[in-house]
Structure 1
Amino acid sequence: MGFGYRLYPSYVLDHQADIAKVQEWLGHANISTTRIYDHRKMRPEDSPTFKINY
């Protein structure tokens, strides 16, 4: 595994790439493997289950 291969997933995730697409690009069977590259801070508003008051 080359140096760029390890940096690219983190780079694209930091720039709002879809983690499912990155998982596909890397060929990971499990999303938890791809999450290793995700160094973004998880905020409640980034969660798909975040509740919005109408």
Structure 2
Amino acid sequence: MKKKRVVSQAGLLAVSALFLWANPFTVHAEGWDNSGGEWRYLDNANNAVSEAWRKS
């Protein structure tokens, strides 16, 4: 019974560590840039797009 509890706790600890390790990564949407302190959308040639609708 004690061995089963230890294995269960070890599994829970491993899953918790996995979530804590994977969580801090930031996901960036393709085309958006904030390098100048202001968000802007860049096209395939890295030119800022303004006053245009883009289909996702």
Q: Please, what TM-score do these two structures have when normalized by structure 2?
A: 0.29
Which protein has the larger Cα radius of gyration, Structure 1 or Structure 2?
A: 2
Q: Please, what TM-score do these two structures have when normalized by structure 1?
A: 0.30
Structure with higher strand content: 2
Structure with higher helix content: 1
Q: Quick one: higher RCO (CA 8 Å, sep 6+), 1 or 2?
A: 1
